[in-house]
Amino acid sequence: MMSTHAKRRVSRSQTAPWLLVAALGGALNPTAAHAMDPSFSLNSQGELKRPVGYREWVYVGAPVTPNDLNNGKAPFPEFHAVYIDPPSWAHWKKTGQFREGTILIKELVSVGSKEAASGKGYFMGEFIGLEATVKSAKMFPKEPGNWAYFSFTSADHKTPKSTASAQPTAECNSCHQGSAAQDWVFIQYYPVLRAAKGGR
Amino acid sequence: MMSTHAKRRVSRSQTAPWLLVAALGGALNPTAAHAMDPSFSLNSQGELKRPVGYREWVYVGAPVTPNDLNNGKAPFPEFHAVYIDPPSWAHWKKTGQFREGTILIKELVSVGSKEAASGKGYFMGEFIGLEATVKSAKMFPKEPGNWAYFSFTSADHKTPKSTASAQPTAECNSCHQGSAAQDWVFIQYYPVLRAAKGGR
C-alpha cells in the first residue's frame, strides 16, 4: 500500500533550503520553464516537501480501480489523477523523455457518486491522498531509473503531510519496473503523454 | 448523443476574425489572463473554432460511465476529461462563478485496459472525441444560463472537426439543467473546482 510510509533516509544529505516548486505563471512558459530546474529539493532530512499548485500542472490521465471490481479489496480503490510538472512536460514534448528533475503527482480521489444523469459509472468524490515520484540521478543514484517515490497521504486521508521520506525501493518500484511502458512510468494509461511525445 | 450535430445557427452574426484561444504561457498568469477575454470567437457562420492547447488548461475531473455498467449501451461509454480555460479558472478561484466567456472542454477518451498491475478497473485508451461548452450572455442570450454546447467529435472518432455549430438547446441542456450542481455545470463531480471555489 502506498499509504504506509518508510522512514528510510535517502542517501544524499542536503543542507540547501527549500526551493519553491515551480510557480504557476512562468513555469508554463517553456522558455522560462527550462531555466527553473530544479523545481524542488529535499530538506536536510532527505524529505521532499509536499508539492503545491500541482492541480494547475499538466494532467496526463486518471485511472480508477474501484473496490467493486476487486472483491471489495482494491489495493488502490480510488481515482488516481496524475500530473506532470510543466518544465518536464515541455521537455517531454520535445524529446519524449523524462528529464532529470521530473515530478509526477498522483492525487488520490475517492469514488463519489456511482450514478448520474449520464449513466452508471464512477465519479470523483473527495481528495484523499497525495503521492509523488521524482526522477533524479543526482539525488537518487541507486533507485531504479533514478525514480524515488513519496507519499504525503495521511492516516485520516484528510490533511496530507507536509513532508515525506522516500519509500523503500521495492514498495513502489516492483510494479513500475515490471509493468510500466516507458522509464518506470505507466504511459500506456496516460494518453496525454502518449499523444504529445516528442523526439520520435 | 453528443455526437449528433445540429446545424442550427446561433442567433448572433459575427464577422470578426478568429481570436486565438488563450495561449499557454501568459494565460495561466491570472493578471494577464483577465486581459485576454474573450479567448475565443465564433466565425461568421456562428461556429466555434476547435479549441487548441486545452490539454494544458486546468483539468477539473474525469468521470467514466462504461458500457459494462450500462447494459452495453452507455450513452457516454468513455472517460470524459474535463478542463476549464485558465482565465476562467482564475476567475473561479476568486469569485466562485463562471465568468462571461468561460470555456469548458470535455475530451472523450476511450476505455482502454480494464486490468493493470494496480487491479481491475478502467484505464484511459485513446482520444475519440471533443466537446466544448461556452458561457456567453453576449453570444448566447437565449440559451439557459447562456451556455452553448458544441461537439467537434467526428463520425470516425479520429480527427475532430475544425469547427462546430451550437447544438440544439434541449440536446445537452436538459441534463445539465436538471442535474448540475451550479450554473449548469456538474461541479459535484469535479473536485478540483469544488476545492478551489472562491467567493464564499
Q: pLDDT tens digits for A67-111? A: 999 999 999 999 999 999 999 999 999 999 999 999 999 999 999
Residue of A69, A109, A130 to mutate when probing chain B, most B C-beta within 10 A: A69
| pLDDT score of B29 | 38
State mean pLDDT over B103-113.
96
The chain A residue lying nearest B107, using CA atoms, is A192
The chain B residue lying nearest A84, using CA atoms, is B56
Distance CA B21, CA B30 (A): 15
Instruction: Give the highest mean pLDDT range of A4-13, A19-28, A152-161.
Output: A152-161
> How close is the nearest chain A Cα to the Cα of B109, in Å?
8
Q: Alpha carbon A59 to chain centroid distance?
A: 11
Rounded to the nearest 10 degrees, how much is the dihedral formed by the CA atoms of A176, A132, A170, A66? -60
Long-range contacts of A135-139 (CB under 8 A, 24+ apart): A135/A98, A135/A99, A135/A100, A135/A101, A135/A102, A135/A183, A136/A38, A136/A100, A136/A101, A137/A100, A138/A12, A138/A100, A139/A10, A139/A12, A139/A14, A139/A42
B113 close to A69: Cβ distance less than 8 angstroms:
no
Mean pLDDT score of chain A = 82
A179 or A32, which is more confident? A179
A119: left (phi over 0), alpha (psi -120 to 50) or beta: left
The tally of CA atoms less than 13 A away on the side-chain side of residue A80 is 27
Tell me which of A1-10, B63-72, B89-98 is least confident: A1-10
Residue whose C-alpha is closest to residue B131's, from B110, B108, B109: B108
| pLDDT score of B5 | 37
Confidence check: pLDDT of B147 > 80: yes
Q: Give all strands of the β-sheet with B79-84 in edge-to-edge order.
A: B58-61, B79-84, B102-111, B124-135, B147-151
The DSSP code sequence of B49-94 is EPP-SGGGSEEEE--B--GGGTTT--SS-SEEEEEE-HHHHHHHHH
Tell me which of A32-46, A151-165, A184-198 is least confident: A32-46
pLDDT confidence of B39, banded at 50, 70, 90? low
Please answer yes or no on whether B69 and A125 come within 8 Å at the CB atom.
no
Handedness of CA B9, B13, B15, B16 (dihedral sign): negative
Is residue B144 classed as helix, strand or coil in its secondary structure?
helix
The chain B residue lying nearest A93, using CA atoms, is B56
| pLDDT score of A39 | 63
Q: Is B68 on the interface with A (CB under 8 A)?
A: no
Distance CA B189, CA B173 (A): 17
Please answer yes or no on whether B65 and A175 come within 8 Å at the CB atom.
no
DSSP-assigned beta bridge partners for residue A59: A83
pTM to 2 decimal places: 0.82
> How close is the nearest chain B Cα to the Cα of A1, in Å?
10
Please answer yes or no on whether B191 and A122 come within 8 Å at the CB atom.
no
| pLDDT score of A159 | 92
Please answer yes or no on whether A62 and B81 come within 8 Å at the CB atom.
yes
Instruction: Give the highest mean pLDDT range of A82-96, B36-50, B176-190.
Output: A82-96
Please answer yes or no on whether B24 and A24 come within 8 Å at the CB atom.
no
**B118, B125, B188: residue with CB nearest A191:** B125
Chain A partners of B63 at a C-beta cutoff of 8 Å?
Answer: 116, 118, 121-124
Distance CA B121, CA B118 (A): 9
Q: What's the CA angle centered on B178, arms B177 and B181, to 5 degrees?
A: 80
| pLDDT score of B124 | 97
Q: C-alpha grid cell for residue A101?
A: 528533475
